[in-house]
């Protein structure tokens, strides 16, 4: 099975307490597609401007990612500039320029439309719905989101939730969407909105998985890192690893145990991502390193 990843492709300028880098490849689709590509054949959908470095496209292609779905526009690329503070959890956004995303409507190449696993990485819910409208056949649909869409496109987001199999959201967004402070309550409330399963990302504390059965709940920690170079895109790599693993086992109707296994892969991919700026750690990654870290993660979290 293959994975289609639709989302943003961006240029990032990032500053951390230890370093500062400019002109990095960013965007939800870029990170998620890179992570997915270690497990399954992956296609990407997004838009870039005339200023987007060709070297970044070549980075995606070096992982075997099909880039035919990246539309090239005459405008400037989506741009984000941010600074992480000492604890690496809190960050300040200095500038966001939507640019080519302002009027963007995703267009799926014909060859993408029957891809079995659809990952709607973080972008406007109306664009996520546009992607789904162009898909054909039986799909397993995963969707990620963020706080701004809960506030500005809530109706579209709620419509999307009725059409996805797995909904992924972080803890602050889950509380915002469900208007509750308890994550267990939030997870159950989101399940009532349509998805078959919900994952709440809890950052350095891991993730929670909710299912429809009375005993279908799973909680795991994150992979322990001694240092974090740049956490940008970790959540996108997490969901990309999940999508890629589901495709790798040939399941467009994964069981709860399959999803638990996918979370382990997503967790490991996110951990590698945090060890460098942009996707640099993923460029240097190989399957042996993934297997070794996965084995360590299982050892760390088993009883």
pLDDT of residue 89 exceeding 80, the answer is no
Complete domains list, the chain, with CATH: 2-301 (3.40.1190.20)
pLDDT of residue 94 exceeding 80, the answer is yes
pLDDT of residue 102: 93
pLDDT of residue 251 exceeding 90, the answer is no
Strands 117-120 and 140-144 turn out to be parallel
Cβ contact 67:57 at 8 Å: yes
State pLDDT tens for residues 21-58.
999 999 999 999 999 999 999 999 999 999 999 999 99
Strands 20-26 and 66-72 turn out to be unpaired
Question: What is the rounded average pLDDT of the residues 235-243?
Answer: 98
Question: What is the rounded average pLDDT of the residues 130-139?
Answer: 95
Strands 41-48 and 20-26 turn out to be unpaired
Percent of the chain past pLDDT 90, that is, above it, reads 95
pLDDT of residue 236 exceeding 90, the answer is yes
pLDDT of residue 150 exceeding 90, the answer is yes
pLDDT of residue 87 exceeding 90, the answer is no
Residue-wise burial string across 129-168, b where 16 or more C-beta atoms lie within 10 A, e elsewhere: bbbbeebeeebbbbbbbbeebbeebeebbeebbebbbbbb
Question: What is the rounded average pLDDT of the residues 167-188?
Answer: 97
Rounded to 10 degrees, what is the CA torsion of 244, 247, 249, 251? Answer: 140
Point out which residues pair with 70 in neighbouring strands: 46
Alpha-helical segments (H) within the chain: 28-36, 54-62, 125-133, 147-152, 154-161, 171-178, 183-191, 234-248, 256-273, 280-283, 287-301
Phi, psi of 13 (to 5 degrees): -115, 125
pLDDT of residue 185: 97
pLDDT of residue 280: 96
pLDDT of residue 41: 98
Lowest mean pLDDT among 29-33, 83-87, 144-148, 159-163: 83-87
pLDDT of residue 201 exceeding 90, the answer is yes
User: What's the predicted TM-score (pTM) here?
Assistant: 0.96
pLDDT of residue 13 exceeding 80, the answer is yes
Question: What is the rounded average pLDDT of the residues 224-249?
Answer: 97
pLDDT of residue 124: 96
pLDDT of residue 88: 85
pLDDT of residue 86: 86
Question: What is the rounded average pLDDT of the residues 83-88?
Answer: 90
């Amino acid at each position: 099975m293959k994975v289609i990843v639709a989302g943003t492709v961006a240029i990032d300028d990032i500053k951390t307490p230890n370093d500062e880098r400019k002109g990095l490849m960013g965007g939800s689709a870029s990170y998620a597609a890179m992570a997915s590509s270690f497990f399954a054949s992956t296609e990407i959908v997004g838009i870039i401007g005339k200023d987007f470095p060709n070297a970044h496209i070549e980075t995606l292609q070096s992982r075997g990612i099909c880039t035919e779905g990246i539309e090239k526009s005459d405008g400037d690329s989506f741009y984000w500039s941010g600074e992480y503070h000492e604890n690496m959890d809190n960050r300040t956004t200095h500038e966001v320029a939507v640019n080519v995303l302002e009027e963007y409507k995703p267009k799926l190449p014909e060859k993408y439309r029957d891809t079995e696993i659809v990952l709607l990485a973080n972008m406007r819910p109306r664009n996520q719905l546009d992607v789904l409208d162009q898909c054909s056949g039986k799909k397993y649909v995963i969707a990620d989101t963020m706080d701004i869409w809960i506030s500005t496109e809530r109706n579209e987001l709620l419509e999307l939730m009725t059409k996805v199999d797995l909904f992924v959201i972080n803890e602050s967004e889950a509380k915002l969407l469900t208007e509750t402070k308890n994550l267990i309550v939030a997870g159950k409330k989101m399940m009532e909105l349509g998805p078959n399963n919900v994952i709440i990302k809890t950052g350095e504390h891991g993730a929670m998985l909710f299912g429809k059965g009375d005993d279908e709940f799973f909680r795991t920690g994150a992979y322990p890192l001694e240092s974090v170079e740049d956490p940008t895109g970790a959540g996108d790599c997490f969901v990309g690893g999940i999508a890629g693993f589901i495709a790798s086992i040939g399941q467009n109707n994964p069981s709860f145990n399959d999803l638990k296994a996918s979370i382990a892969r997503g967790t490991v991919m996110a951990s590698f991502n945090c060890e460098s700026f942009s996707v640099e750690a993923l460029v240097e990654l190989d399957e042996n390193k993934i297997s070794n870290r996965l084995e360590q993660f299982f050892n760390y979290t088993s009883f």
